[in-house]
Structure 1
Amino acid sequence: MKTIIIEDEKPSARRLSRLLERLDVEVTTLLHSVKESIEWFKSHEHPDLIFLDIQLSDGLSFEIFEQIEVRSAIIFTTAYDEYALQAFKLNSIDYLLKPIDEEELQGAVKKYRLLKPKVQNMALDFEDIKRLLVNPIEREYKKRFTAKVGQHLKIINADDIECFYSENKGTYAATTEGRNYLLDTTLENLQNELQPQFFFRTNRKFYVNINHIKDIISYTNSRLQIKLNHFSNQEIIVSRERVRDFKLWLE
């Protein structure tokens, strides 16, 4: 199986390449922009599989396929966890949210290998995905959560939650009262329940609420550290792969 990666963040591309090598997936090329990708496709045999970032430094990666006929399967690698997931599912083998989890990557590769005989008949509707990126599907987000406290159920307003975090296989909500409540959910489930205007997933362990950020500090390896108003149980670090999207989210 020959694979290429189209990703403008070179450290992210190299990390993904290393993860794929562990899965016996041959990565032949790393491409980093729309322009570079168009030129490459014009003069090279198309790969079996493309790992495709949505937002590249010089535009949306869909612009590549406005000029090149796609003859490869696609797995999206995206930070758009609140946008167009339905279209990603319909128009690709799979999608992976950044920062990419190794187990999820393994599952996506396995899915491709199972579906490979059908890939040539896949109709990729990039216009559909682009429309949903500009006009995301209207969705009702959760305004409150419940947590069991002894024999009682505690109602927690989403506005009063400084962050959600995972610890010891549990998912917790840390509130403005300085309390931490165990919830009957996972961070993966929360991605479709939290309003993206206010909540951002900084890494695999944390979602933070923009209204409760006290300070943002430069950290090692081009990362950022977040200080919240009350929560101080653990360091909250924005992973290097998510720093750019975090800065865009802040604006």
Structure 2
Amino acid sequence: MKTIIIEDEKPSARRLGRLLEKLNVPVSAMLHSIEEAIAWFGDNAHPDLIFLDIQLSDGLSFEIFEQVDVRSAIIFTTAYDEYALQAFKLNSIDYLLKPIDDEELEMAVKKYRDFKPETQKMALDFDDIKKLLVNPLEREYKKRFTARVGQHLKIINADEVECFYSENKGTYAATSDGRNYLLETTLEGLETELEPKTFFRVSRKFYINIEHIKDIVSYTNSRLQIKLNRFSDQEIIVSRERVKDFKLWLE
């Protein structure tokens, strides 16, 4: 099984490589730019599996496939392009949201090993996915959610939600009236349902609503702490790997 990583952040690439080694997945090459990847494909046989970051330092990684007819299986790694995740699910083995979780990585590798799609079936429609990234389709994101409260269903408007968070294998909506409601979904399930201009996944545990941010303060290890108008049950910390993307999102 020949595997390569295409990732412009070298520390992230090295970390992913170490995690893959623990899963007995040897990495043949780590490539850090579109230019480097195109040159590599010109001199090497195509790998069985590619871990592909979307936004590289010299552009969108889909530009690689405008010049190279890649037939490899692909697992996407992405920081904040939530509006394209549905396309990834339909056209790839899997996607991993940064910072990459050990267990999610293991599941993605297992999925590849279990299915091992035939090469000719793995030709991805990169043009369609690129259009989603550059010019995302006008679509309606979810405006309401329902939660069971006793024998009743509570209707929760999306703009009332200060944050969505996971706890004890449950997913909750914390609203502006100080209530927390258990939802019948997961944070991963919310990724294609939430308006990406309004909601941002600051960590594996939290999605926050920009309209309810009260303060943003510096935190240890180059991280940020988010303070919301009402929710104070737990600290909300922007993971170090997401700080850069979070700042871009704010703008």
Say whether the fold is shared (TM-score over 0.5).
yes
CA 1:141–1:68 in 2, change beyond 3 Å: closer, same or farther? closer
Matches for 1:108-187 after TM superposition, within 5 Å: 108-116=108-116, 118-187=118-187
Give the superposition deviation at 1:53.
0.5
CA 1:93–1:172 in 2, change beyond 3 Å: closer, same or farther? closer
Give the superposition deviation at 1:219.
2.4
- Measure, in 2, the Cα distance between the counterparts of 1:182 and 1:91: 31
**1:193 maps to what in 2?**
193
Structure 1 gaps, min length 5: none
**1:16 maps to what in 2?**
16
Give the superposition deviation at 1:240.
2.2
CA contact (8 A) 2:8 2:57 kept: yes
Alpha-carbon RMSD = 2.1
Deviations 1:39-61 (A, max 9, x none): 33333343221100010111011
CA 1:167–1:70 in 2, change beyond 3 Å: closer, same or farther? same
Give me the identity figure in percent.
Answer: 81
Residue 195 of structure 1 aligns to a residue whose secondary structure is coil
Give the superposition deviation at 1:29.
2.0
CA contact (8 A) 2:70 2:123 kept: no
Are 1:78 and 2:104 counterparts? no
CA contact (8 A) 1:84 1:137 kept: no
CA 1:150–1:90 in 2, change beyond 3 Å: closer, same or farther? closer
- Measure, in 2, the Cα distance between the counterparts of 1:150 and 1:125: 46
Most deviating of 132-141 and 235-244: 132-141
Q: Residue type matched to 2:180 in 1?
A: N
Most deviating of 157-166 and 40-49: 40-49
- Measure, in 2, the Cα distance between the counterparts of 1:137 and 1:105: 29
Residue 24 of structure 2 aligns to a residue whose secondary structure is coil
Are 1:5 and 2:5 counterparts? yes
Q: Residue type matched to 1:29 in 2?
A: A
Most deviating of 52-61 and 111-120: 111-120
Are 1:239 and 2:239 counterparts? yes
CA 1:35–1:96 in 2, change beyond 3 Å: closer, same or farther? same
TM-score norm. by structure 1 comes to 0.89
Q: Residue type matched to 2:204 in 1?
A: R
- Matched residue pairs, number? 251
- Measure, in 2, the Cα distance between the counterparts of 1:160 and 1:36: 46
Structure 2 gaps, min length 5: none
CA contact (8 A) 1:162 1:228 kept: yes
- Measure, in 2, the Cα distance between the counterparts of 1:145 and 1:66: 40
- Measure, in 2, the Cα distance between the counterparts of 1:185 and 1:117: 29
Q: Residue type matched to 2:69 in 1?
A: E
Deviations 1:227-250 (A, max 9, x none): 111211111111222222212211
CA 1:18–1:178 in 2, change beyond 3 Å: closer, same or farther? same
Give the superposition deviation at 1:201.
0.9
Deviations 1:129-150 (A, max 9, x none): 1112123234332222233334
